[in-house]
Amino acid sequence: MAKVYVVGAKGRMGKLVCDLVCETEGLELAGGYDVDNIELLDEEAPAVDLVIDFSQPAALPHVVAFVRRTGARLVCGTTGLSQDDLALIRSLGSQTSVVWSSNYSMGVAILRRLSVEAARALRDWDIEIVETHHKMKLDAPSGTAKTIAEQVGDEVGRPIPAHSMRGGTVAGTHEVHFFGTDEEVTFTHRATSRRIFVAGAVECGKRLLTADPGFYAFDDLMF
């Protein structure tokens, strides 16, 4: 039975992660951490097999220190991270198996792949991204929109704009628009529940348990 800590356990995503870990065969929820007790990870938390982190950037140093100390595998879904933060997560791959993704949905992974393929054929078209999330989401554009913009931008050799809308309880919608002369192509992914992201993250965690040390992308583990 693999023991799991959830960081960000009191947040919307964290609560769902805790629930699914408890429901998943072979996994055992060993504890949850959040802003009110994250410091306990530094010294008092005993080693576990896996950490799933859906918290905020401020918690990252504590998570990284714990992983370095114990060798626990890490699934990180925290967004709003700087390039230095991401480099810090990647560096953990020299010691243990780690995955970071801005989105753990299989459908979003397909959206990214289709968008890059379309960009290869439509590189001279105007390309824009629009994402919509609930009004409580802190970062804008979303980490997913930034990732798609970067990958499509790398393909066409120019920056791709990403626009944000916030309102209501929208779990997450991402649209990639390709505008040509007298025609338009749009790819859309619409999430109706955050549980799809949680299911992908937990599945990645299960696969990390048997993966060689290294830094993995979502696609590396799932495709």
Three-class secondary structure assignment of 15-79: HHHHHHHHHCCCEEEEEEECCCCHHHHCCCCCCCCEEEECCCHHHHHHHHHHHHHHCCEEEECCC
Instruction: Kindly state whether residues 95 and 118 are assigned to the same domain.
Output: no
Instruction: Kindly state whether residues 43 and 84 are assigned to the same domain.
Output: yes
Share of the chain above pLDDT 70, in %: 100
Checking if the pLDDT of 48 tops 90, the result is yes
CATH of the domain at 111: 3.30.360.10
Parent domain of 147: 106-191
Could you report the per-residue pLDDT of 117-175, keeping only the tens digit for each?
Answer: 999 999 999 999 999 999 999 889 999 999 999 999 999 999 999 999 999 999 999 99
pLDDT at 223: 87
Instruction: Kindly state whether residues 83 and 167 are assigned to the same domain.
Output: no
Candidate list 133, 146, 174, 206, residue with the active-site label:
133
Tell me the β-bridge partners of 53.
Answer: 7, 76
Candidate list 3, 137, 163, 177, residue with the active-site label:
137
CATH of the domain at 17: 3.40.50.720
Instruction: Kindly state whether residues 62 and 120 are assigned to the same domain.
Output: no
Instruction: Read off the pLDDT of each residue in 201-207 and give the average, rounded to a whole number.
Output: 97
pLDDT at 35: 86
Question: Is position 133 annotated as part of the catalytic site?
Answer: yes
Question: Is position 137 annotated as part of the catalytic site?
Answer: yes
Instruction: Kindly state whether residues 157 and 209 are assigned to the same domain.
Output: no
pLDDT at 168: 97
Report the domain count for the chain. Answer: 2
Mean pLDDT computed over every residue of the chain: 96
pLDDT at 80: 85
The structure's pTM equals 0.84
